[in-house]
Chain A
């Protein structure tokens, strides 16, 4: 732990990442208390104040129906982070189990599982998600589902490649000579050696999941109004550029900050956990 903080402190960029992530998570969790206009996360209309540039009352201006953009960004962070957490609670475990089985067992298990992974990876992720959302109703739950379906194969492939090389290590041979079960070898011996890479990838992926989810919303396939979402806020505002620049620039910056924060933190973690690519 102490070593981790030292490395973090010695590396200014990952420290910035860490601070950004902490601030954003804090802001999202306490949005109802921090937001200057907590009611603006829903269907509120205030045409007297619509489309105003940044001011002392509305730090980031107001949107087309007069809602405070800063407040909506805080609530949008709740949605983005929640979506990211759900995706990352499902995709990595699924991918890890598939990758471990394929990597350690080899043979036909490996062939079948990894071909399946290849099939998923050969479809461009956004296309797969758009196709799914076309069939399903565009709701928040389905957006999570779509992103999860396209995300797990990356973990399968990551864990598979680590398990393949760990399989050649002496400690695996030692366990095999002793006659330990395949379950023990895969999950108790090999898995702990995959965890640092998985954790690092999860941190880096948090940012990407948020981008993909925002992209879906931007295309009108994700979170539906009036629920605030960074992607749909950018999409709405895009038509009024460059005059009403605040409509797009602030939500855009918000996406940038959260992605940037998680990436920097992920790079720092990679060093702390000693993961080499």
Chain B
């Protein structure tokens, strides 16, 4: 079976007033059916632009130069027309953003927004059918009173509730791939923990593949099967999440791990902000049975 997402030697540069500047220096990344893959890096590492390329959004930007292959479910995204790429979004791939409240439209009810989402796959869907499906999805994300939520506007719901609604909407069309860009970073820690847990159960049930983009190693550890660590547009370490957490081998990955303060104490780590070693070549962990 072909992988759900296969990125090979992807380069990206932006044309500015000062000439070309390269942002991605040839990254490769694979997501198999049902796999939850995390792309971990700091701001400016290139993780978010990678997501925008997969979603086919950056291809529309005039100043972006993209080189390399991005295959979604065996189809080359780069060779598609803008229209074909748009047709994929919201149907076969969907997205969850940082701030749930601002990514929902404040002027429509949740029910209406659900109908719009479901209508992308099934344009003739009626109100009754849409509400029924939405109710079922909201129940799956443990929303106790779906009817009330469907009639509500986003600003009438809490941030955590909106995040669940976003998850339900993102999975409503049974996408093959879910892109989650720092989901829940805008939420309180306890709410974030709950929604991540919920999201994980749901994608496992549905067999959805996930590209999880985050800077937070703790969150990634609880969510992902596989890890790609990205630093300044290069993947520096990849492998099964458990293997990397047990034995981080790249200097940058190690620095990232060390820099996270521990709730068991131990003081503040002495980690360099930048180092020559961070530019060392990619380290791949063996695919072991574990």
- Listed A/B pairs (4) with beta-carbon separation below 8 Å: A3-B17, A6-B17, A7-B17, A10-B17
Residues 106-150 of chain A, each 1 if its beta carbon lies under 8 Å from chain B, else 0: 000000000000000000000000000000000000000000000
Binding site for A on B (CB under 8 A): 17
**Nearest 4 CB-CB pairs, A to B?**
A6-B17, A3-B17, A7-B17, A10-B17
Q: Output the least CB separation between B177 and chain A (Å).
A: 34
Interface positions, chain A 1-46, Cβ under 8 Å from B, are 3, 6-7, 10
Tell me the bound Cα distance from A55 to B17 in angstroms.
Answer: 47
Q: Chain A contact residues: over half helix, strand or loop, or mixed?
A: helix
Return the chain B residue nearest A6 by Cβ. Answer: B17
Q: Output the least CB separation between A69 and chain B (Å).
A: 43
Return the chain A residue nearest B17 by Cβ. Answer: A6
Tell me the bound Cα distance from A3 to B17 in angstroms.
Answer: 8
Tell me the bound Cα distance from A10 to B17 in angstroms.
Answer: 9
Instruction: Tell me which residues across on chain B come within 8 A of A7, comparing CB atoms.
Output: 17
Instruction: Tell me which residues across on chain A come within 8 A of B17, comparing CB atoms.
Output: 3, 6-7, 10
Q: Output the least CB separation between B254 and chain A (Å).
A: 34
Tell me the bound Cα distance from A3 to B18 in angstroms.
Answer: 10
Q: Output the least CB separation between A10 and chain B (Å).
A: 7
Q: Output the least CB separation between A14 and chain B (Å).
A: 15
Q: Output the least CB separation between A271 and chain B (Å).
A: 11
Q: Output the least CB separation between B15 and chain A (Å).
A: 11
Q: Output the least CB separation between B19 and chain A (Å).
A: 12
Tell me the bound Cα distance from A6 to B17 in angstroms.
Answer: 8
Tell me the bound Cα distance from A262 to B17 in angstroms.
Answer: 25
Tell me the bound Cα distance from A6 to B19 in angstroms.
Answer: 12
Instruction: Tell me which residues across on chain B come within 8 A of A3, comparing CB atoms.
Output: 17
Q: Output the least CB separation between A274 and chain B (Å).
A: 13
Return the chain B residue nearest A10 by Cβ. Answer: B17
Return the chain B residue nearest A3 by Cβ. Answer: B17
Q: Output the least CB separation between A65 and chain B (Å).
A: 54
Q: Output the least CB separation between A2 and chain B (Å).
A: 10
Tell me the bound Cα distance from A7 to B17 in angstroms.
Answer: 8
Q: Output the least CB separation between B236 and chain A (Å).
A: 34
Return the chain B residue nearest A2 by Cβ. Answer: B17
Q: Output the least CB separation between B282 and chain A (Å).
A: 37
Q: Output the least CB separation between A138 and chain B (Å).
A: 50
Tell me the bound Cα distance from A10 to B16 in angstroms.
Answer: 11
Q: Output the least CB separation between A15 and chain B (Å).
A: 15
Residues 49-82 of chain A, each 1 if its beta carbon lies under 8 Å from chain B, else 0: 0000000000000000000000000000000000
Tell me the bound Cα distance from A10 to B15 in angstroms.
Answer: 13
Return the chain B residue nearest A7 by Cβ. Answer: B17
Instruction: Tell me which residues across on chain B come within 8 A of A6, comparing CB atoms.
Output: 17
Tell me the bound Cα distance from A6 to B18 in angstroms.
Answer: 10
Instruction: Tell me which residues across on chain B come within 8 A of A10, comparing CB atoms.
Output: 17
Q: Output the least CB separation between B172 and chain A (Å).
A: 34
Interface positions, chain A 180-235, Cβ under 8 Å from B, are none
Q: Output the least CB separation between B13 and chain A (Å).
A: 18
Tell me the bound Cα distance from A200 to B17 in angstroms.
Answer: 22
